[in-house]
Each structure stands twice: as structure tokens, then as C-alpha cells.
A and B are shown apart, each in its own frame.
Chain A
Amino acid sequence: MSIEVLKPGLHTSIQDLGRVGHYHLGIPPSGAMDQLSLRAANLLVGNPSGAAALECALMGPELRFTEACRVAACGAEMVPKLDGERLPLNEAFIAPKGSVLSFDFVRAGARLYLAFGGGIDVPERLGSRSTYALGGLGGLDGRALRAGDRLALLPCSSRIPLRQLPEQWRPRFDAEHVLRVVPGLYEHRLSPAGRERFYAETWRVASEADRIGYRFKGDQPLEFVPREPPFGAGSDPSNIVDACYPIGSIQIPGGAEPIILHRDAVSGGGYATIATVISADMDLIGQLQPHRKVRFEAVDLPTALEARGAYRKRIAALERHFAPD
């Protein structure tokens, strides 16, 4: 049972929920940027929610099935077409033997999750099948898909009926998004005016937005507090002695463009981080297209924990919805 990659799309990689425990040596978690959509696609085809699936950024792949296969697509609005015929998103379907699956242009969102009955069969590396392309690790030979690749699937035992994903678990694509952050880390390096403007500004997603980090453009650079650099930090006011970067942390090299580190993050470096996106809002970033508008809202830790609780309840309800009776 395998799938032939006819066209790879813009950047399509194998992802599951990611690997934990290797960040201290520089290996980031990887895994789906929009974890809820990955879970939903897997559950629709009867897989465990953390099975390996395809994450397709901005432009979908073209695939041919050598055997009939259960398929579901969730996340970005990229309408699937089976042998040219349009199918609904967020609904499981059977791709017959020999059929070709392709996608329309993306209408909203940035990443589509494509799950196959059984899940993709690549070896687990450090406990996960996720691709970490910068480190050449996991997935298929540690890289994004190419034309001519073949994907093997694990045996599919599920016979669950073909169902739809209820509206409440689909991502929302607003004109302007608010990302909630906990201020801290090296925030004191920003001038009061710089700090104020970081939260007041409407930022736009830059074209350099990928699994490592999302870059944003604003009107003018943010100001850091001038200082005599501490030994080893480097001369720019935004430099620090190289330290760890939390997943979701925001740095502003030279004050020019904020960068949010995501699931393929560099684990540390010499730029001052000024806040961290709360875990409940990380999925949202994975669905941001270039040029989207974003504002940052400062919240305290109790608010972040409350949002985390709500996110976890949403996931638990999703799992229950698809649990066998």
C-alpha cells in the first residue's frame, strides 16, 4: 500500500505531534504547526489523533493512490479534487485505487493536514515521525516531499463511517488576528516607547514565515535601551549573551522585525526575547498567510493557564466525539 507523489506542493512534510526531550541539545519538537487540525484529520479517518500525516503549506501536493485509501483534509481552505472532481474539506472520503488527489489554490489559512487511514509509515526518530528539515531528521529522509517519492502506510483497521468534522473544531480565518503573549524574558531591553508600540502596532506576516519562525513587518523599528554591552553579548542593543529560546518566544533582531519561533525553532541564540505566545494560540500561527494582520495582546500567567485549560477541553471533546461507542 503506497502513495506516489506526483507533485510535492510548495512545502509538504510528514508531521505528527512532535518529539519531546531533545531541545537541550538543539533538536526542536517539530510536529504539526496546527496540532488541532492534524488531530481532526487523523480522527476523521479512524487513526489515533497523533498519527503521522502530511502538512501542506500554501499549495497542496498531487498524489496517486496505488490502493484504495481513506483520506481526510483539515485546516487551510484548499479544496481537494479527486480525479478533478471537487470534494468537501473536513470530511473523510475514499480515494479509489489509481485515483489522483490534487488541490485548488488556498483560499484561507496556510496549512492543510492530510491524513490517510493507518497513518504514514516512516521510522520513528527520537520518538517521533515528524520531519525536522533543518536538521535532516525524521519524516522521509529528513526533508520535505519531492516528486517521485513514495509514501508507505501502516495497516488500516478502522471501519468507522465516513464523517464530517463539526464546525466548532475548524480553524477560523479572521481578517485580523490577536495573539496573546506573556511579556517577560528580556522585555526590559526595549525602551518604554518600544514596548508600547509593540502592543499598539498592527503587524503584517512577512514572506519569511516558516516552521522555524514567523517574521512580522511593522512601520518603523522598535527602540531598545542603549547600554554598554555586557561581556560576550555583542554590540547591537538587541544582543544578549546567547541563551535558550522558548518555543513561541518573540525576538526582534535590531528592533526591525519581530520573529515568533515555532515548532522547528532554533533552540537558542544571541537576540533579546521580549514575550512568549501562550500555548493555546500557537496553532493559530500555523494558519497565518503572509500579509495577514496580527496584533499582540499582553496577558498574565493565570490568563494563559485559563486559555490552556480551554484549549485542552476542546481537544478532549474532539477525541470524545470520535471515540468508538
Chain B
Amino acid sequence: MSARYSFAGDEFLFVELSEEMKLEAFFRSISITDRLRREAVDGVIEICPANASYQVRYDPDRLDGNRLKALLERFDTELAGNRQRTLHTRVIEVPVFYDDPWTRETLMRFRDRHQQPDATDLEYAARINGYDDTAAFIEAHSATPWFVSMVGFVAGLPFMYQMAPRERQIQVPKYLRPRTDTPRQTVGYGGCFSCIYSVRGAGGYQMFGITPMPIYDPAGAQPHIDASMIYFRPGDVVKFTPIDDARYEVLDAQAARGEFVPRVMPYVFDLDGYERDPIGYAARVKEVFA
């Protein structure tokens, strides 16, 4: 298995495992970075797994970069035979108010930066992915579970990979030019990834809806979020549930009072089981809430 190692300045080592997105590469990234974390190597400052790559920040005054590279190559080789194929994780239900007034108002302000100025982001995504209308598209977006394959961009933003055969995965381009505004907790889409914007700010992903569920908590006001301030972790499995405006109001008020309780179930994700039968596997994931 190939990997591309690249030193980034004098403090970072960047490793690309696959040029294209696939869960196999994510599991490889998680295996190597978990191993590095367990070894507690002196001089390693920060370990950042991503979708199909990872990055290590290190202190070159304590750890030689080439030694770190050799170590990571060794881990990769040693793990190749018995790479982690299962992941003890959780399934999280995320309620989504699709086609909500806030993202709609925002997207209207940035039509000049969009591929199709005379349609909403949902209408555009539905059309280019071959769905009859936005209702069918929303149904498709919320029908399959999603796999959190990276956390970042801004604080706590999850990148989510659709659990579906590649030919059925939704794909949309990013905005032609990024927006300068995105409502907090917007559910977005770019490339093959869904995301949830954790804070208000710039963004280039298409906007489909909004969740009342807080996912980043710098004030320490949300009981479901620990001292890291961040709710999601790589490996989490997400199930979107469409909600209407009335339900959104109720849940949003709960969140404002620090009383939002997400539905969460422990779960063991099995990569081989998923790859054998993605459609059947995805359908079974949803049964944890049955």
C-alpha cells in the first residue's frame, strides 16, 4: 500500500494515504494515528486524522522528522496484516429542519456566487443528482446513515461520508466563490461530504437545512458535550431525521436552556460487513433506534 509523506515546514509531517475518498483509507489513517497516540512518542505534539490522510505536528528539537517518518512507515507496515476493521463507536440521531428559512435567506444573499442563481441549493443538488424534486432528494439525504470521517475546518465541524455504494452517493460542487456567511448549525454539502457548520461564518458548501442540536460548546452550557467543547469524533455514525418548524422550535428552545438530549446508541461498526453489502448494512444501522 502506498503512502505519500511530505514535510510541511519544520513542524508538520503530512501523510496522504489515498487520493480518492474511501472508508478503507480512513480506517488505515485511524489505525496508524491510534497506534502513534498509544506509543506516546516524546516530541509528538498533535495527531490529526482526516478523511483519507493524516497529519502529525511535532517538535523537531525533541524528535527528528525523519525518525518520525520511519516510525509511521513501520506502524503502517506492521498494521497492514491486521488492520483495525471494526470500530467501537456510537450512532447519533441528528434532527434536521430541511429547507429552513435561515439558510434560505442566507443562500438568497449569495446567488451571484452559485452555479445556478435561479434555484435554491436544494433544488440545484436535487437536479444534478437526478432526483425529481427536493422532497425526493431530502428523502435520499436522510435515508442512509453517515460516517464521520474527519472533524475540523472550524471548531468541531464533522465531515460525513455517505454509507451508500459509490454510484448512489450524493455529489455536489462547492459554491463558485465561498460565502462570507453561513448560519450556525447549517447542514451543508460539498464534494461527497455532508457537514454541519459548528459556528457562524464563511463557507463554500451547499446549504440544505439546519439542526437545533448544539455540536460545539465553548460556554460549557450543554450537558451532552464534554470539556473538549466538541461533540463529534471521527468514527461517529450519524442518522439525519427530518423535522418540521414546530419540532425545530421545541428542540431549539431546549438547546437554549441547556436541556437538549441527543438520541445516541453505542455501536460497533464493521468495515468488512459494510463493504460486503453497503445497502443492507446501512439499513440495519438505522434499526438501533427501533
Contacts and interface: CB of A to CB of B under 8 A. Distances in A.
Interface stretch (A165-173, A198-206, A236-244): A236-244
Most chain B beta-carbon neighbours within 10 Å: one of A20, A244, A248, A280: A244
Interface string A67-83: 00000000000000000
Contacts of A234: 173-174, 190-191
A23 B48 CA distance: 7
Given A25-B155, A231-B22, A305 B46 contact: no
A266 B191 contact: no
Interface in B24-73: 45-55, 57, 60-61, 65
A108 interface: no
Interface in A32-69: none
Contact of A184 (B7, B152, B198): B7
Contacts of B159: 242
Contacts, number: 181
Contacts of A278: 9-10
A287 to B, nearest CB: 19
Interface in A209-238: 230-236
A239 B191 contact: yes
The SS class assigned to the A binding surface is mixed
Given A230-B20, A234-B191, A276-B9, A24 B65 contact: no
A248 B230 CA distance: 24
Contact of B150 (A181, A233, A268): A268
A232 B46 contact: no
Given A242-B50, A246-B14, A126 B229 contact: yes
The SS class assigned to the B binding surface is loop
Interface of A: 20-27, 125-126, 132, 134-137, 142, 181-182, 184-185, 230-236, 239-244, 246-249, 253, 266-270, 273, 276-280, 301, 304-305, 307-308, 312
Interface of B: 6-12, 14, 16, 18-22, 45-55, 57, 60-61, 65, 150-157, 159, 161, 166, 171, 173-174, 178, 190-193, 198-199, 201, 216, 218-219, 228-230
10 contacts: A26-B156, A135-B155, A233-B191, A234-B191, A241-B51, A244-B14, A244-B48, A244-B54, A247-B12, A277-B9
Given A26-B152, A137-B229, A242-B51, 11 more contacts: A25-B155, A26-B156, A135-B198, A136-B219, A182-B8, A231-B192, A242-B159, A246-B9, A246-B57, A247-B12, A307-B10
